[in-house]
Amino acid sequence: MSSLKDKILNTATDLFQTRGINSTGVDTIVAIAGTTKMTLYKHFHTKEGLIIEVLNKSQHDFHHWLDNKLNTNSKVPSDKIKQLFDFIEEWITSPKFLGMGFIKASAEFPNEENPIHQLSSKQSREFRQYISKLASEANVKDADGLALQLSLLFEGAVQAEQMKRGSGAIKYAKKAAKILIDGAINA
Amino acid sequence: MSSLKDKILNTATDLFQTRGINSTGVDTIVAIAGTTKMTLYKHFHTKEGLIIEVLNKSQHDFHHWLDNKLNTNSKVPSDKIKQLFDFIEEWITSPKFLGMGFIKASAEFPNEENPIHQLSSKQSREFRQYISKLASEANVKDADGLALQLSLLFEGAVQAEQMKRGSGAIKYAKKAAKILIDGAINA
DNA sequence: GATAAAAGTGACAGGTCTGTATATATGCAA
DNA sequence: TTGCATATATACAGACCTGTCACTTTTATC
């Protein structure tokens, strides 16, 4: 894969997060990435295509990072779900955290028919299913229910952090998650 | 107050929610409101001014509706906070619910220096303080902590509903809220 | 060094955006 | 009737947007 394609992808990811997707023009992206529109449009047919690749890469990076953290720290299923919010906290409080792409994208493209909105919705659903798998492996009875609740706390905490950097909301999300997880495991 | 100003305000509120703020031009707003740009710019000096008035009105309407519901249903503080998510559910599942303005606005204007972002952040904080007041009246020890947790559930549920209408996330948010509230009251 | 692929340049088409200018019409009060 | 505020219609300036064009330069491979 061309390194210029990566450069464009990374630059776009950054600009979309810090300035908004609709507010970031392709001219700005190529200027900062140090390339030209011709090159951008060779790798991504449209701006929408670029947005979709940015969202996919962001989600893949997050998912890969989290899955790796969880699996290298413990093999015991109930420990894994209990540690989930420790790693989410690590992710959110990292200096390079700029927000979750799919949360912002769904707000910028509110129409449910829009491909970008649909992708956002799919990513949110897939993350919830990932948590649900963790929960069912830990023998939680209503795994989908707990997963949904934890994903609400997660998305709420991300939202809070996007509104005000260093809000500390994640600390309380973690406490709430512990209460809900303990309650569900002992049910 | 001019009824045309209200018409513009209501039309803009609707369009911002259904199409996004940046994706909605003033030409579209005046065309649908049945007036002209001259009139719009007489009432709102800039588009930013219009956005800010839309956000303020939306938040005021929500707050007024919720406060009224809570106060007419019960005078017992611990009942009020326990009923909070019942009314939030009523609000979110109402057919006319199109999302929360301040959540979408903060995503479209991610820069913390931006006046619109700052207003969103302020509205989120004020809502949290409102819940905190409910909690402390119900003799919750860590009222701010519980309020933050409930607001995470609230914003997460709104986010989920904005992503997929009829997601049913609010039902599980409600259950989680009950667990957290009961735990906090009996602490 | 020849050849081909990749990237760069600069201009441009066609559209949208915010905000303004000018000139006209309407309703109401004195 | 006259005067005035309000709203209308229409055109426009200037900036930005996405995406394309023809053409040139660099880079890599044989």
Q: pLDDT tens across A71-96, in order?
A: 999 999 999 999 999 999 999 999 99
Tell me the C-alpha to C-alpha distance, in Å, between residue B102 and each of A72, A111, A131, B119, B136: 39, 17, 28, 8, 25
- Beta-carbon contacts below 8 Å between A and B: 136
**Residue A1: pLDDT band with limits 50, 70, 90:** very low
User: H helices within chain A, ranges in order?
Assistant: 3-19, 26-33, 37-43, 47-73, 77-93, 101-108, 115-137, 143-163, 169-185
Could you identify the residue written with the tokens 């998650």? A177
Q: The domain that contains B138 carries what CATH number?
A: 1.10.357.10
Report the pLDDT value the prediction gives residue A3, as an integer from 0 to 100.
Answer: 82
Residues in A closer than 8 angstroms to B120, CB to CB, are: 163
Which residues, other chains included, contact B162 with Cβ-Cβ below 8 Å and sequence gap of 6+?
A106, A107, A110, B99, B100, B103, B104
CB contact A156 to B (< 8 Å): yes
Do B27 and B111 reside in the same domain of the chain? no
Structural domain range at position B173 = 55-185
pLDDT at B98 over 80: yes
With contact defined as beta carbons under 8 Å apart, do A96 and A184 qualify?
Answer: no
Residues A160-180: b if buried by 16+ CB within 10 A, e if exposed: bbbbbeebebbebbbbbbeeb
Residue B19 within any structural domain of the chain: yes
The torsion angle over the Cα atoms of residues A123, B177, B175 and B93, rounded to 10 degrees, is -70
Give the model confidence (pLDDT) of B173-183 as tens digits.
Answer: 999 999 999 99
Domain count, chain A: 2
And the tokens for A128?
């919830």
Q: Please check whether residue B30 is in contact with residue B36, taking contact to mean a CB–CB distance below 8 angstroms.
A: yes
Which residue in this structure is represented by tokens 């949904």? A148
Alpha carbons within 13 angstroms on the beta-carbon side of residue B116 total 24
Within this chain, do residues B93 and B150 fall inside the same structural domain, yes or no? yes
Say whether both A27 and A112 belong to one domain: no
Q: Are residues A136 and A55 in the same domain?
A: yes
pLDDT tens track for B34-76? 999 999 999 999 999 999 999 999 999 999 999 999 999 999 9
Q: Tell me, yes or no, whether B130 lies in a domain.
A: yes
Whether the CA torsion A9, A12, A13, A14 is positive or negative: it is positive
| Buried/exposed code over B49-62 (b: 16+ C-beta within 10 A; e: otherwise) | ebbbbbbebbbeeb
A181 shares a domain with A93: yes
Render pLDDT for A138-184 as a digit per residue (tens, 0 to 9). 999 999 999 999 999 999 999 999 999 999 999 999 999 999 999 99
Q: Is the CB of B39 under 7 A from strand D?
A: yes
pLDDT at B130: 98
- Residue B3 confidence class, pLDDT cut points 50, 70, 90: confident
* Least confident stretch, A38-47, A63-72, B92-101: A38-47
ipTM reported for the complex, 2 dp: 0.91
One domain, residues B81 and B159: yes
CA A81/CA A168 separation, integer angstroms:
21
CB under 8 Å to A20, separation ≥6 — which residues? A104, A108, B22, B107, B108, B109, B110
Lookup: nucleotide whose C1' is closest to A26 CA: D18
**Residue B67 sits in the same domain as residue B149:** yes
Q: Mean per-residue pLDDT for A64-73?
A: 96
Q: Are residues A116 and A73 in the same domain?
A: yes
Q: Which residues contact A45 (CB under 8 A, 6 or more apart)?
A: none
Kindly tell me the sign of the dihedral angle through the C-alpha atoms of A109, A111, A115, A117.
Answer: positive
Q: What is the CATH number of the domain that holds A4?
A: 1.10.10.60
**Nearest Cα residue in chain B from A144:** B172
Residues 104-143, chain B: which have Cβ within 8 Å of A? 104, 106-112, 117, 120-121, 124-125
Could you tell me if A20 and A55 lie in one domain?
A: no
The answer on A129 and A145 residing in a single domain is yes
Q: Do B66 and B16 fall within a single domain?
A: no
